[in-house]
Structure 1
């Protein structure tokens, strides 16, 4: 008999602070009905605190809700009147302030109202989960666990799951599946130790960086230049990250470490430096107060200078020697040069890495089950390209271990604690063919065999992992058609940013022909983001500047032919979208039989930004859909999409792409992008099973006509009057309006797809020949930014 699966229909979040409200928002993004609780308000409606927190979600950036209309679905509640609402809740996540006494008091209050099968979880970041469990009635303890989301919960992939001694295995497995598929997270199991894995290692790394910053006398801006993308970390690096997190929040986490880890050999460093205390005392808490380590003054970014005890203009720059070392591809050579260099910046970087490796190895046995859990926690929770063990292993495990041991003996390290014996047992690292090392079990452990991971054909790889890339059926320089031993083909692009050039266009058409003979369906999917950044502008501009107009027109016609080949394929073509799907990339998914989009998909017809209009069949498809939705008056359906295209809007999520009319109502949104290919293939197979046929060619599409174009142009006149749009913007938008409306014909006149495609092509080619459009294309190619001329 298998355990009953965990079915979560409804959730409750206790605590409407920033974190609690954002967890409620993300549950709602995933279509989980959610009640958000807080204390009763002293004035106004009793649930006023929760009501205000829900309203505030719209103001937060980055946006916690994937579609702002979802805010209305969150149910505000308070502990005085609404505890009865807990009766039919399947998951309760407590996210109140980090005070053990407050949490225990709340558990006592809710216990009588929670159903016998509900799972309870605390989103604490540092308190003992076993300690919290003791406040619960005995019969609830086996359904209680720690579940630690990282901020902001919609975007951060990491969730730490922290079982107590009594948490039932079935509860953990059910929760792991829910967090992975429904909420789209990467789950790491952590032991019940203060700050768990992510913050224990991540905050230590920040503290050690702060310690070495003071010791080396380097400026905060210099350290940020050294500890950002150059070493595989986010642009916000160290001190900018501290400002974003909030200096008071950082100090609180550090205090938790100081209070709860008295025996840690690095304990004396668990305190905020004097300058950090001084900033907090002044109320300079970082980004939220407008000043912290950095502050803005007009257009300038200022940085705190400890020598001057004042702010100066920030000039982040790594020395020439260190820049050259960081550019070295081979990690072993890079680390050898860092350690040998006498440049203070190189010495600083070596010290920061050395103390991080030392600390992480020393604590592996007590904080995590395996080295893989540590590396994923840091990658997913802190945005590093590689985790600490991966960096160490790639640079030569024994060489680095020897250097750390030498530095410990010479008294150079932050702590004199010896490296654990396993570090120097002759191993070449902690990740290998049979899994990742567990220091507590002294064994290699493979990846989880939880069935939820069968949905990930290409999971996030740990160092050295290689996944079967499938069998190539056919490829050219643009695309590869392949399969994974099943009946669904996959087309992947080979170009940079998956842009679309002639090889991609010809390749898709040829690959679909092969798929019709060999497969039941085909999926357009890229092994890495983005889905496609659109047409290859460089090639297009080259043809124009060389005066090869006929070739340019032929390329546009071929683009449209490719979209139509996708639409009228005899086997279903499913687009699997994640990341950017711009211009032609957006048009390809519009012509597919169905799109499966990751929640974090940023979709848009952005051609107006480079002085063009969509001409890969996108406008034609929007006109066809408008006529299908509203045959008597297609203009009604065109109004919203006209604005979307004319303003080159890009959706901030897949859900928003639906409301902008760029995805269809029945397109599918997936929260875990690693499951995208699995779901897309399942869709293609289901359509094939249902006896899929391509749509019948649309031969009598009622056009919105010249009245529609005139109405759109009238609205553009107001923009021109108010100087919100240049004359060239108006020209582009007028041509978009003409194409969507079917040209200079009477309202209701029947047109076919070929007619609309010819309109698209004509306007596109005419715009492309204008000086202003060519200037826009060139400017975007060189700067990556649009030109308003």
Structure 2
């Protein structure tokens, strides 16, 4: 089969999931039609247009840029089915009713193009049962594609073939999901709830059971099952509120209805208290109350004994916190099991039953243990999947404990552990691959060519990827390469902050790259790209009264940015996560930036009473001035930049960074963070192969001058009088305006980059010496949030 090319997609169903899937498709520049029933009154597309309008109100935002909503084409089944004929992929995302889905398939079947792929976003219904209504000719291009909610942010997409799905269709669809939509794809067998929800919902059910058994409060359990054990802050019961208690109850009922032979089936029922909350309309976050509710600023939790809410004050006992701090997993689990504290017994019981259930069902629901661990990590946000956790804790030791508990009647089921668990193995993951009970062998990763784009894919426990050949390494940075002519520089500091060591490392790396390589990529082994300058180190110089040393450090920062900009080989920034302050300035000076979609970019120095002085304001003034040209309206171009910098705005995505103009139009956005390094290296190579030369230094930059400064000041005075900003905000913003406008010179004056850099330095150093700025910096370093003074 020829390569699967997907130009246009139809999403059937404009409910919560369907609308958000459509949003993520247009985020990725995929032409998308969103269908639903025709409205009974008014505009026939009313149901869909309302759903599209609602996308802008949701949090977290499904749209990476608000204007993307207009790219979704609304349609209804009564008038527009012929539009399906131009679609290469059709994703059905209507309610979880087998009869409704089959009725819809029968309706659309005459309009499905001969080579189009049809996929259901069902979260757990049988794909083979859904295929029954389809014409035989469509079976080879029908499958399940289960996105997790919210689709923009959750990495997991489960791909579920039916009995006759063509392997080439699956491979092409997998490539589209991975590269275009940025997903981590896991193949699931056609069993109820597939992998993620089968294991994830069981984990919640076992937590429900043990909460009651150990008589713990819901807030207490959430304190135990969140970050302390490597899981999201929303833990168990807050997650249930976010998902919706009615949805939770529905998923539990689906398990009860479709898994009558499961050895744990007696637990597949919603507890009475859950049904009571649903009966009262307390469905969780969407109704304002569920297991938890917010009253003013206070969080309250339901108290079953009192049948009322009380303050949520539950926490992990000190004894348990000490156990969970133990770095050695084997020692940690041994102490957890041995402890008589109810919280420790509760946690051990939850882990034991999760391990037991996952091992018992592995062969029936997935090909390998890797699929289960990735499904839970990517779909539920856990740091480690169940098999990884078990293996890290000592496979045979834990297996023995589980067997003991089964024999003693302590586990939720007396089903025996599968024989492969106790065959002498040390785990299920190793360098060669992950264990498959069905194949009775270790299975390597997928050979789909799309994964050649992932130099460092997300690794399971036991997997090791070559770190590349080191060129040089210091305490602050490492420069390495793969023998392809492109060097990579990574920072080693906390939050990849920038201090003297990083500045020296960047300059050294460019020197080496100009001599021995075609290009240089700045890429971090993990998020963020950079949280900006190392404020604590910088302020130490000021506190010691070393003003000249402090100013020299600022000059070195600027010189490093300029070194990036005027390097004789292309320097490409590969950005994911935060790129704040100096991190943002470095990417602004690179020959090109490749952003992961979830990149949060901003010049945020105003929040600590400073202004950008790593060349950021200089770069803005240069870009705007050169674009306006002699006699042009420089001020108009500066205005949006000024607002972004003075307010310390941070983009909510890479696409929004382009709107804020902190990213350039020719900068690239990739949707899969694991492809970021590959794309950045390809860009560096392409620039080098095309005879890259840096731009000539800008020596005649038109500026807005004194008139521009005065105009900005008028805006600020109005804000000060309206109490929207403080006196110190006024001071900081005035200095930002002064640098952006090129200083106190005539409007239209021509300056060079050195002039603008000198202005940056002078105003930065002046602000840094002010008591109110120093208060802001100290508060930020201590509390991690800005002070308004």
Per-residue Cα deviation, 1:279-300 (whole angstroms, up to 9, x for no partner):
0000000111111111111221
* Distance (Å, rounded) in 1 between the aligned partners of 2:712 and 2:134: 63
Name 1:652's counterpart in structure 2: 652
Match among 276, 289, 314 for residue 278 of structure 1: 276
Structure 2 equivalent of residue 249 of structure 1: 247
Tell me whether 1:586 sits opposite 2:584 in the alignment: yes
Secondary structure, counterpart of 2:56 in structure 1:
helix
Q: Which of these residues, 435, 438, 441, is aligned with residue 437 of structure 1?
A: 435
Separation of aligned partners in 1, 2:356 and 2:516? 54
The separation in 2 between residues aligned to 1:61 and 1:629, in whole angstroms, is 36
Aligned partner of 1:396 in structure 2 is 394
Per the alignment, in what secondary structure is the counterpart of residue 59 of structure 1? coil
CA distance in 2, matches of 1:316, 1:629: 58
> Number of residues paired by the alignment?
787
CA distance in 1, matches of 2:80, 2:726: 55
Q: Over residues 732-751 of structure 1, what are the superposed CA-to-partner deviations in whole Å (9 max), with x where a residue is unaligned?
A: 11111110010111111110
Structure 2: tracts of 5 or more residues without a match:
none
**Does the CA contact (< 8 Å) of 2:507 and 2:563 recur in 1?**
yes
2:700 is equivalent to residue 690 of structure 1: no
Q: SS of the residue aligned with 2:735? A: helix
SS at match of 2:683: helix
Q: Kindly provide the CA deviation profile for residues 581-605 of structure 1, in whole angstroms up to 9, marking residues without a partner as x.
A: 0000000000000000000000000
Aligned partner of residue 256 in structure 1, secondary structure: helix
1:72 aligned partner = 70
What is the deviation of 1:310? 1.2
Q: CA deviation at 1:317?
A: 1.0
Partner residue of 1:595? 593
Q: Conserved in 2, the CA contact under 8 Å of 1:522 and 1:573?
A: yes
Matches within 5 A, 1:213-232: 213-232=211-230
**Pick aligned residue for 2:136 from 130, 135, 138:** 138
Counterpart for residue 522 of structure 2 = 524
Can you list the C-alpha shifts for 1:376-399, whole angstroms capped at 9, x where unaligned? 000000000000000000001010
Alpha-carbon offset, residue 121 of structure 1: 0.2
8 Å Cα contact 2:23/2:63 also seen in 1? yes
* Contact preservation (8 Å) 1:254, 1:270: yes
Counterpart in the other structure of 1:736: 736
- Find the residue that maps to 2:119 and give its secondary structure: strand
Map 1:267-416 to 2 at 5 A.
267-416=265-414
Alpha-carbon distance in 2 for matches of 1:28, 1:135:
30
8 Å contact 2:377–2:385 — kept in the other structure?
yes
CA contact (8 A) 1:630 1:636 kept: no
The Cα shift of 1:159 comes to 0.2
Distance 2:286 2:50 in 1: 18
Residue 344 of structure 2 aligns to a residue whose secondary structure is helix
Contact 2:102/2:130 (8 A) holds in 1: yes
* Counterpart secondary structure, 1:447: coil
CA distance in 1, matches of 2:14, 2:326: 48
Quote the residue 2:767 is aligned against: 767
Instruction: State the distance in 1 between where 2:711 and 2:77 align.
Output: 53
1:662 paired residue number: 662
1:16-40 CA distances to partner (integer Å, 9 max, x unpaired)? 0010000000000100000000000
* Post-superposition CA distance 1:310-331 (Å, at most 9, x none): 1111113111111110000011
CA distance in 1, matches of 2:503, 2:6: 44
- How far apart are the structure 2 equivalents of 1:298 and 1:56? 25
Q: Residues 673-714 of structure 1: CA distance to partner in whole angstroms, max 9, x if unpaired?
A: 000000000000000011000110000001111111111111
Q: Do the aligned residues in 1 keep the contact of 2:431 with 2:464 (CA within 8 Å)? A: no
Q: Which runs of 4+ in 1 moved over 3 A?
A: none
Shift, 1:629, TM fit: 2.1
- Which secondary structure state, in structure 2, belongs to the residue aligned with residue 692 of structure 1? coil
Task: Please say if residues 572 and 592 of structure 2, whose CA atoms lie closer than 8 Å, have aligned partners that are also in contact.
Answer: yes
The one-character-per-residue Cα deviations of 1:413-462 (angstroms, maximum 9, x if unpaired) are 10111111111111111111321011111111000111000000000010
2:538 aligns to what SS in structure 1?
A: helix
Aligned to 1:123: 121
User: Which whole-Å CA distance do the structure 1 matches of 2:628 and 2:386 have between them?
Assistant: 57
Match in the other structure for 1:111: 109
Conserved? CA contact 1:608–1:648, under 8 Å: yes
Q: CA deviation at 1:364?
A: 0.3
Contact 1:576 / 1:676 at 8 angstroms: preserved in 2? yes
2:149 matched to which residue of 1?
Answer: 151
In 2: Cα distance, 1:648 partner to 1:124 partner? 42
Shift of 1:43: 1.1
Aligned mates of 1:421, 1:351 — CA distance in 2? 22
Bigger drift between 542-551 and 173-182 goes to 542-551
Q: 1: CA distance between counterparts of 2:241 and 2:68? A: 30
Shift of residue 476, structure 1, vs aligned partner: 2.0
Q: 2:723 is matched with which residue? A: 723
Partner of 2:681: 681
CA distance in 2, matches of 1:293, 1:628: 58
Indicate whether 1:565 and 2:563 are aligned: yes
Instruction: For 2:120 and 2:678, locate their aligned partners in 1 and report how far apart those are by CA, in whole Å.
Output: 31
Matching residue of 2:778 = 778
Q: For 1:599 and 1:252, how far apart are their aligned partners in 2?
A: 33
Counterpart mapping for 1:183-202 below 5 A: 183-202=181-200
The answer on whether the counterparts of 1:181 and 1:452 sit within 8 Å (CA) in structure 2 is: yes
Aligned to 1:39: 37
> 1:195-249: per-residue Cα shift (whole Å, max 9, x none)?
0000000000000000000010011111001101111100110001101111111
How far apart in 1 are the matches of 2:100 and 2:505?
62
Task: Report if the CA contact (8 A) 2:477-2:505 is conserved.
Answer: yes
Cα distance between partner residues in 2 of 1:656 and 1:261: 45
Structure 2 length-normalised TM: 0.99
TM-score, normalising length: structure 1: 0.99
Given that residues 541 and 547 in structure 2 are in contact (C-alpha distance below 8 angstroms), is that contact kept between their aligned partners in structure 1? yes
The answer on whether the counterparts of 1:46 and 1:78 sit within 8 Å (CA) in structure 2 is yes
Q: Do 1:627 and 1:702's aligned partners in 2 also have CA atoms closer than 8 Å?
A: yes
CA distance in 2, matches of 1:722, 1:262: 66
Following the alignment from structure 1 to structure 2, what is the Cα–Cα distance between the partners of residues 26 and 300? 34
CA shift, 1:114, in A, is 1.3
Q: Assess if the C-alpha contact under 8 Å between 1:602 and 1:651 holds in 2.
A: yes
Select between 239-248 and 308-317 the one with higher mean Cα deviation: 308-317
Gaps of 5+ in 1: none
Q: Name the CA distance, whole Å, in 2 between partners of 1:211 and 1:616.
A: 56
Cα distance, 1:484 vs. partner?
1.3
Which residue of structure 2 aligns with residue 87 of structure 1?
85
Return the alpha-carbon distance in structure 2 between the equivalents of residues 637 and 25 of structure 1. Answer: 30
- Distance in 2 of aligned mates of 1:710 and 1:133: 69
Tell me how far apart the structure 2 counterparts of residues 55 and 768 of structure 1 sit (CA, whole Å): 45
Cα deviations by residue, 1:549-596 (Å, 9 ceiling, x for unpaired): 011000000000000000000000000000000000000000000000
Match of 2:12 among 11, 14, 24: 14
Counterparts of 1:32 and 1:460, CA distance in 2? 26
Deviations 1:94-116 (A, max 9, x none): 00001111111111111111110
Deviation at 1:517, TM superposition (A): 0.3
Q: Deviations over 1:608-631 (max 9, x none)?
A: 000000000000000111012222
> Higher mean Cα deviation, 657-666 or 713-722?
713-722
Q: Secondary structure at 2:323's aligned position in 1?
A: helix
Structure 2 residue matching 1:64: 3-state secondary structure: coil
Aligned residue in 1 for 2:209: 211
